Amino acid sequence: MALVLDAAERKGYTPNLAARSLITRKSTTVAIVVANITNPFYPQLIEILHNEFALAGYRTILLNEKTDAHLESYVTDLVRGAAIDGLVYVSALLDTPLIGNHDGGFPVVLLNRSNERATVDTVVSDNRAGGRLVAETLVNSGHHRIAVVLGPKNTSTARDREAGFLDQLHAMDVPFDTELKRAGQYSHESGFELGIELLRTSPPPTAIFAANDVLALGVLDAARRLQIAVPEDVSVIGFDDIDMAAWEAFRLTTVRQSLADMARAAAKLLLERLTSKDKIPARTLIFPIELVSRSTVGPPPASR
């Protein structure tokens, strides 16, 4: 009886979770795989995921793509060892070979990472449209020499955002100088270094598209270091709209993804799989994006 148990638990009795899990064949635990907790982008998602799962009675274990040695076999062991009931990848890495192992009906959802094989649930924003929106915005402001700073190449977000961006440039008949394309990590440091490089090319770009906000903040800091005014001398646009983008120090113009909605949706998809007994076909949720205009985009410097 549930009521009896509730009362018992309240009175000081606590069931052994391992024993319960052994018999119910449920661990009431889900794992969240992130690439790098230190990137301010992830905590915003983790917090919501964690909260949603906690509300539904699930514990959350954290896996780090960077530091967990042999993540692949580690995850496999957790799954086969029945230590987790479900899994959400909050990681844009394309070449993580993990997904393939969980096709067999194990509940998996991909958050912020597109799913080429449509074999598991996926929640993404319209990264391609976002890339297009960036190109459109910048070109409409008068820019013709635009640089792009990408995250790791093996990342679906970098790939899709770049593709949309280039498509739209092409559609608007603006040439793209491949010299102005750099790829690094999704980190402030990477944005800073690549920003310095880019701003030192001659002629320098009049605008820089950073494939995510953390990168964009690094680019802004690079401009600051080089005493290049934003947006007077160079425009910068990011992607994500993390909290910090709105800070007074940055006031970054960026493409907003509804991070909170996406995280909630991802949790919901996973929870449905965890509680439903029927087989559910893989679903893909694509969230719309929108431009948030703040203070880092303006017309190009008076062209000679």
Partner DNA sequence: CTGTTAGCGCATTCAG
Partner DNA sequence: CTGAATGCGCTAACAG
Give the residues lining the site for a second copy (CB under 8 A).
9, 14-22, 27, 29, 36-38, 40, 42-44, 46-47, 50-51, 54-55, 59-62, 64, 67-69, 76-78, 80-83, 188, 192, 217, 220-222, 224-225, 243-244, 247-250
**What does 72 interact with, of DNA, a second copy, none (CB < 5 to 8 A by kind)?**
none
CB of 87 to a second copy, least distance (A): 13
CB of 267 to DNA, least distance (A): 24
Residue 5 near which of DNA, a second copy, none (CB within 5-8 Å, type-dependent): DNA
Return the number of the residue (16 or 202) whose C-beta is nearest DNA. 16
Judged by beta carbon distances under 5 to 8 A according to partner kind, the member of a second copy, DNA, none in contact with residue 274 is: none
Among DNA, a second copy, none, the one that 227 touches (CB under a kind-dependent 5 to 8 A) is: none
Question: Of 88, 44, 85, which is closest to residue 65 (Cα–Cα)?
Answer: 88
Which residue's entry shows tokens 């949309």? Answer: 164
Give which of a second copy, DNA, none residue 46 binds (C-beta under 5 to 8 Å, depending on kind): a second copy
- Give the Cα separation of 263 and 73 in Å (integer): 26
277 binds DNA (CB under 7 A): no
Burial, 175: exposed, middle or buried (Cβ in 10 Å; 0-12, 13-18, 19+)? exposed
Distance CA 127, CA 190 (A): 21
Q: Closer CB to a second copy, residue 33 or residue 135?
A: 33
- CA angle (267 as vertex; 88, 156 as ends), nearest 5: 45
Report how far residue 63's alpha carbon sits from residue 78's, in angstroms, rounded to the nearest whole number.
11
Nearer to DNA, 22 or 246 (CB): 22
The dihedral through the CA atoms of 256, 163, 184, 224 has a sign that is negative
Cβ nearer to DNA, comparing 17 with 229: 17
Q: What residue 132 binds from a second copy, DNA, none (CB within 5 to 8 A, per partner kind)?
A: none
Closest distance of CB 8 from DNA, Å: 9
**Position 113: which residue type?**
R
Only one of the segments 14-22, 52-60, 68-76, 148-156 lies at the binding site for DNA (rule: CB under 7 A); that segment is: 14-22
Give the Cα separation of 143 and 175 in Å (integer). Answer: 11
Distance CA 56, CA 24 (A): 17
CA distances from 160 to 61, 122, 143, 205 (A): 29, 15, 22, 22
Residue 16 in contact with DNA, rule: CB under 7 A: yes
* Angle, CA 84 vertex, CA 82 and CA 90 arms, to 5°: 145
The answer to the question of residue 303 lying near DNA (CB under 7 A) is no
Instruction: Give the contact letters, 18-47, x = binds to DNA (CB under 7 A), - = no.
Output: -xx-xxx-----------------------
Q: Which residues contact 51 (CB under 8 A, 6 or more apart)?
A: none
5 scored as a contact of DNA (CB under 7 A): yes
Letter string b/e over residues 90-118, b meaning 16 or more CB atoms within 10 A of that residue's CB: bbbbbebebbeebeeeebbbbbbbbbeee
**Residue 77 interacting with DNA (CB under 7 A):** no
Binding site for DNA (CB under 7 A): 1, 5, 14-16, 19-20, 22-24
